[in-house]
Amino acid sequence: MSPETLLQKPAVQSPQFTTSDFDQYVMSTYARYPITLERGSGCRVWDSEGREYLDFVAGIATCTLGHANPVMVDAVTTQIQKLHHISNLYYSTQQGELAQWLVEHSCADKAFFCNSGAEANEGAIKLARKYAHTVLGIHLPTIITAHASFHGRTLATITATGQPKYQKNFDPLVPGFYYVPYNDIVALEEAINMLDATERQVAAIMMEALQGEGGVRPGEQAYFQRIREICDQKGILLILDEVQVGMGRSGQYWGYENLGIEPDIFTSAKGLGGGIPIGAMLCKSSCDIFQPGDHASTFGGNPFACGVALAVCRTLEQENLLANVRERGEQLKAGLNAVAHKYPGVVAEVRGWGLIIGLVLNPESELVSSTVVKAASEEGLLLVPAGPKVIRFVPPLIVSPEEIAQAVAVIDRALAAVA
Ligand SMILES: *Cc1c(COP(=O)(O)O)cnc(C)c1O
């Protein structure tokens, strides 16, 4: 049947594919909200019943340019019509130009492309281990990470993640990781001294510039500046996981710019492709030691993903979205603080950078983030918790002043309903 005849056919009501049909076929790895999303435009999405939502989840800090953005529609269409996948046996301009953009807009000199945040972190872990073996002469290298961190769901990255709930029942875990409390320099120095007195010497420190999943907790400048000094003194590597906070979300291109330091290695994924799966691991030339055969990915950096990510990166720059992130972020923080004052004892703090903001519930109160998220979704605002006591606001970076105002009004109503 030709596309024309298909279009002329009278619309047949397709039987509704229900959420229980879905659950019959899809593994239950997620506790999903009972909402089936069908389409989106800008910062709004619509469900299968035609209900409209303001989307302050953005695919978990991923849809940089919102939904159905013409820039992305054009980039996707152009690239799929031209060439979408070739493997890494050959060169492609798109991969090279994306690497160039990332290098020119960060402290890194080189990029490796993959498909997700976890995979980017796996690459960083492998690079740090090779560096330990071949440059530092450490044969049982340890990578120090933080409590409440989040680095992904592969075996190495759940091990790197300093949260036992992600590791339960998946042992034996990958050896070579050690955890310290975040933003606590004394604990870090003690851990390094302790480990260095054993065979399991420290080869790298891996942190988020701002902990996303772990509660939207910003890193402290003094802490990270001291980490940088320690790494320089010892010649070990500082790896920053920029998967959630990078790509403009913090109001700077990269989260580390808020801390006044530069990492040796950093990773990106979520916002990089604006929702098209892509990850990247970047490093300085001083630790650019991978050689052909050391690391690879079949899909990694294909012309499709790179062509779209390049369009996202260029739009971020050309539309001066960093300024919007900073202004809308300030507006959101001020709005949430004003709402917080109306419900004393409910909200402990509003924190974050740019457009990654956490509304922290009072630890003494019984209220949990999922209750507020549910109440907000009933009022037409999509949000995502970052732990049991923090509600995360991560809208597309193109969000307008009106949309921020609307979200704040919804939070006001939601808190009135549940507080
Ligand atoms: C989401 C996230 C990851 C994992 O990314 P995936 O694409 O889900 O593998 C890693 N690190 C941080 C900081 C993240 O927020």
Query: Closest ligand 1 atom to the C-alpha of 119?
Result: 9
Q: Can the peptide bond before residue 388 be classed as cis, meaning omega within 30 degrees of 0?
A: no
- Over the chain, what is the mean pLDDT? 96
Identified catalytic residue from 56, 112, 113, 150: 150
What is the CA(394)–ligand 1 centre distance, in A? Answer: 14
Q: What is the pLDDT of residues 211-239, one digit of tens each?
A: 999 999 999 999 999 999 999 999 999 99
| Residue 150 annotated among the catalytic residues of the structure | yes
Could you tell me where in the chain the CATH 3.40.640.10 domains are found?
Answer: 73-318
- Angle 60-158-228 (CA atoms, 0-180°, nearest 5)? 85
- The dihedral region occupied by 293, where left means phi > 0, alpha psi between -120 and 50, and beta the remainder, is left
- What residue owns the CA closest to ligand 1's atom 6? 117
| Residue 270 annotated among the catalytic residues of the structure | yes
Single pTM value for the model: 0.95
Q: What is the mean pLDDT of residues 384-389?
A: 98
Cα separation, 269 vs 275, whole angstroms: 9
Cα separation, 307 vs 76, whole angstroms: 8
Which range has the worst mean pLDDT, 1-10, 224-233, 351-360?
Answer: 1-10
Identified catalytic residue from 130, 270, 333, 389: 270
Identified catalytic residue from 55, 241, 264, 412: 241
Under the banding of pLDDT at 50, 70 and 90, the label for residue 1 is very low
Our answer on whether the CB atom of 151 is closer than 6 Å to any ligand 1 atom is yes
- What residue owns the CA closest to ligand 1's atom 11? 151
What is the CA(300)–ligand 1 centre distance, in A? Answer: 16
Q: What is the pLDDT of residues 86-102, one digit of tens each?
A: 999 999 999 999 999 99
Our answer on whether the CB atom of 367 is closer than 6 Å to any ligand 1 atom is no
What is the CA(209)–ligand 1 centre distance, in A? Answer: 13
Residue pair 72/42 in contact (Cβ under 8 Å)? The answer is no
- Is the pLDDT confidence value at 116 over 60? yes
CATH class of the domain whose range is 73-318 = alpha beta
Could you tell me where in the chain the CATH 3.90.1150.10 domains are found?
Answer: 3-62+320-418
CATH class of the domain whose range is 3-62+320-418 = alpha beta
Would you state the pLDDT for residue 2? 47
Residue pair 361/346 in contact (Cβ under 8 Å)? The answer is yes
Our answer on whether the CB atom of 213 is closer than 6 Å to any ligand 1 atom is yes
Our answer on whether the CB atom of 152 is closer than 6 Å to any ligand 1 atom is yes
- Is the pLDDT confidence value at 14 over 60? no
Question: Which of 257, 161, 280, 158 shows the shortest CA–CA distance to 214?
Answer: 161
Q: What is the pLDDT of residues 43-78, one digit of tens each?
A: 999 999 999 999 999 999 999 999 999 999 999 999
Query: Closest ligand 1 atom to the C-alpha of 153?
Result: 9
Query: Closest ligand 1 atom to the C-alpha of 60?
Result: 1
Our answer on whether the CB atom of 266 is closer than 6 Å to any ligand 1 atom is no
Can you count the helices (H) and strands (E) in the chain? 13, 17
What is the CA(62)–ligand 1 centre distance, in A? Answer: 10
